[in-house]
Amino acid sequence: MSGLKRNLRQLTRGQLEQWLKEQGEPAYRAGQIQEWLWQKGAVSFSEMSNVPMKLRQKLAEQFLFAPLSINQRQQSRDQTIKLRFVTHEGFRIEGVLIFSEGRVTACVSSQVGCSLTCAFCATGRMGRQRNLSSDEIVEQVLLLRKEALQAAGTSLTNVVYMGMGEPLLNYREVVRSLEMLTAPDGLALSPRRITVSTAGIAKLMRRLADDGVRVRLALSLHATTDEQRNRIMPINEENQLESLIAALRYYHERSGSRISLEYILFAGFNDTMEDARRLLKLARQLPGVHVNLIEYNEVPGLSFRGSDAVTVKRFQEFLERYGIAATVRHSRGRDIDAACGQLANRGMKEQR
């Protein structure tokens, strides 16, 4: 058990130099240690071969290192890699590595389970166990980056908060993790390469803008009327479409960052041309918005089915004809439990 040890990755360069000074160590060691932490992706103090053994021991006594371990790895035929992580007390969460069109994207979880019970989602069925700490979120990114380097010799280009959980319901830790990922002495990722995806909590979307967050913000829309959306996303009852669209526009105007709408097409539920017209109408209220049309990864035991490829294409062409940028996001890793929450959910059952 790590007790109250602090994660070494939470220290800024200045704090680390100060700590080293207190130990009678030269300041340049901070650069060596941070290189191991962020560039070389070390997962233990013992790997820090150019740091003297005595100093490594002191670090180990006072600081925590990797707060997650990998418990399972699955690789799909389309190269998608899914990792199941275990927290120090045995909770399972998941992260996914997606290779597509020159991008290498790490998809990370922000909570163990989720409290929002969206009707089409495996994670929603687990309930929320607890929030993840910023360390645990960043650790997922680092472990996925290591996986990308090993599997394809390439680093990450993008990070998306689209795994288990609703990021805005873990607001403080998620924002802290964004700071760590974008800090020049952290992973130094551009905020433009990071997307936070929310099921839609208007008040917190506005707060992100007010707090100076600059990453991309995506709203999981999935329906075009409140009545329809209430049926699949109970959070909509207190966050109606009008307030969500206004909050997204506010975020874009205040932050200057890109915004997008995520829209999973469900056969016979939200995939008529009437839906497409309403989607267009909503998108037109959002300057520069990008619409991602997502193929549904079916979840065993749930009755939702994904729309066929022709319908998805028709939606895309319709939106583009009227000047809205739309991309079809093909379902990845179909052969490896790739639906949100499936792998960890199975892990929970095995655990029980």
> Which residues in this chain contact ligand SF4 in the complex, by CB under 6 A?
114, 116-118, 121, 123-124, 164-166, 199, 340
Q: What is the largest CA-CA distance in the chain?
A: 70
Query: Which residue among the candidates 94, 136, 139, 147 is catalytic per the annotation?
Result: 94
Q: Which is nearer to ligand SF4, 95 or 124 (CB)?
A: 124
The distance of closest approach from Cβ of residue 343 to ligand SF4 in the complex, given in angstroms and rounded to an integer, is 13
The distance of closest approach from Cβ of residue 79 to ligand SF4 in the complex, given in angstroms and rounded to an integer, is 24
Contact 68, 136 (CB under 8 A): yes
Q: Which is nearer to ligand SF4, 105 or 123 (CB)?
A: 123
Q: Which is nearer to ligand SF4, 118 or 209 (CB)?
A: 118
Q: Which is nearer to ligand SF4, 59 or 233 (CB)?
A: 233
Beta bridge partners of 269: none
Q: Which is nearer to ligand SF4, 250 or 304 (CB)?
A: 304
**Which residues, other chains included, contact 169 with Cβ-Cβ below 8 Å and sequence gap of 6+?**
111, 115, 116, 128, 131, 201, 204
d(CA 141, CA 22): 31
The distance of closest approach from Cβ of residue 113 to ligand SF4 in the complex, given in angstroms and rounded to an integer, is 8
Q: What are phi and psi of 228, to 5 degrees?
A: -70, -40
The distance of closest approach from Cβ of residue 286 to ligand SF4 in the complex, given in angstroms and rounded to an integer, is 20
Query: Which residue among the candidates 107, 114, 118, 340 is catalytic per the annotation?
Result: 340
Locate 33 and state its tokens.
């240690």
The distance of closest approach from Cβ of residue 158 to ligand SF4 in the complex, given in angstroms and rounded to an integer, is 19
d(CA 102, CA 284): 29
Contact 333, 79 (CB under 8 A): no
118 is catalytic: no
Q: Which is nearer to ligand SF4, 121 or 283 (CB)?
A: 121
Q: Which is nearer to ligand SF4, 324 or 339 (CB)?
A: 339
61 is catalytic: no
- Provide the annotated active-site residues: 94, 340
